[in-house]
């Protein structure tokens, strides 16, 4: 007999896996939509009821895979505060876009055992799909990137997590944009991790 009280429950580790998976598709969607990598270097993949594009660039995979694995570890330890995707001009290194994913983590134990923290996974994935749709639609209001650009990912963690930071990671400034415009996008929640999305960009003057 199924226990209806636990059918929609989610563990802290399970939530971390879902959010890390979202970041993978979210980052890839940003890189595709903003033309950071050639369109023909992306493959189509079905996820969240959508057809998403994921890079096949080996160097990008080599960069993202260990980063996302570490992100999942931080999420599972309730240590991740923010993930930021920064887009910069190649020549000047000027930051022209800043995609911010702010994470709030509920106070639960490792199993996520809390009757008020139950949520159907189908609903979670639907909320994630809504955010991805907004990332896709962002090209309608973001200024055209007319010069070659590169990207980086900034990770903000709680102070007690810094000892577990990979040795090849380096400290960085906040990469803020002076007089930036900001658009708040949708949020999603796993009932353990709440992720709030916004994009800041340099106005097209």
State the pairing for strand pair 50-55/80-89. Answer: unpaired
pLDDT tens-digit series, residues 122-147: 999 999 999 999 999 998 999 999 89
Answer yes or no: is pLDDT of 7 > 90: no
**Residue 129 within a domain:** yes
**Residue 1 within a domain:** no
How many structural domains compose the chain?
1
183 dihedral zone (left: phi>0; alpha: psi -120 to 50; beta): beta
- DSSP-assigned beta bridge partners for residue 200: 98, 182
Residue 128: CATH number of its domain: 3.30.900.10
Q: Tokens 């999603």 map to which residue?
A: 188
Q: Tokens 């059918």 map to which residue?
A: 7
Answer yes or no: is pLDDT of 25 > 90: yes
**Residue 164 to residue 172: CA distance in whole angstroms:** 17
pTM for the model stands at 0.89
pLDDT score, position 111: 52
What's the pLDDT band for 59 if we cut at 50, 70, 90?
Answer: very high
Query: 35 CB contacts (<8 Å, ≥6 apart)?
Result: 145, 149
pLDDT tens-digit series, residues 97-119: 999 999 999 887 655 454 456 78
Kindly write down the DSSP assignment for every residue of 161-180, as one continuous string. Answer: GGGGS-TT---------TT-
**Residue 77 within a domain:** yes
**Residue 176 within a domain:** yes
The vertex-50 CA angle with 48 and 51, nearest 5°, equals 130
Provide the domain limits for residue 116.
12-201
pLDDT score, position 4: 37
Q: Tokens 């920064």 map to which residue?
A: 86
Q: By three-state DSSP, how is residue 191 classified?
A: coil
Q: What is the mean pLDDT of residues 156-182?
A: 79
Least confident span in 61-70, 103-112, 149-158, 171-180? 103-112
pLDDT score, position 2: 36
**Residue 2 within a domain:** no
Please provide the average confidence, as pLDDT, over all residues in the chain.
Answer: 88
**Residue 33 within a domain:** yes
Q: What is the mean pLDDT of residues 148-170?
A: 80
**Residue 59 within a domain:** yes
**Residue 145 to residue 143: CA distance in whole angstroms:** 6
pLDDT score, position 201: 96
**Residue 6 within a domain:** no
Angle formed by the axes of helices 121-137 and 12-33, nearest 10°: 20
């Amino acid at each position: 007999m199924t226990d209806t009280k636990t059918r929609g429950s989610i563990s802290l580790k399970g939530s971390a896996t879902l959010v890390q998976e979202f970041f993978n598709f979210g980052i890839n969607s940003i890189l595709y939509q903003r033309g950071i990598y050639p369109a023909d270097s992306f493959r189509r993949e079905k996820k969240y009821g959508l057809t998403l594009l994921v890079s096949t660039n080996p160097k990008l995979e080599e960069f993202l895979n260990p980063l996302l694995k570490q992100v999942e570890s931080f999420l599972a330890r309730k240590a991740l505060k923010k993930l930021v995707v920064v887009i910069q001009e190649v020549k000047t290194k000027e930051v022209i876009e800043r995609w911010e994913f702010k994470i709030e983590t509920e106070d639960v134990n490792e199993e996520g055992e809390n009757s008020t923290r139950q949520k159907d996974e189908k609903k979670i994935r639907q909320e994630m799909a809504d955010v991805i749709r907004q990332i896709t639609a962002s090209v309608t209001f973001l200024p055209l990137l007319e010069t070659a650009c590169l990207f980086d990912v900034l990770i903000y963690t709680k102070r007690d997590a810094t000892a577990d930071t990979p040795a090849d990671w380096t400290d960085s400034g906040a990469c803020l944009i002076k007089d930036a415009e900001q658009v708040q996008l949708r949020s999603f929640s796993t009932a353990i991790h709440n992720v709030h999305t916004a994009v800041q960009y340099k106005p097209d003057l």
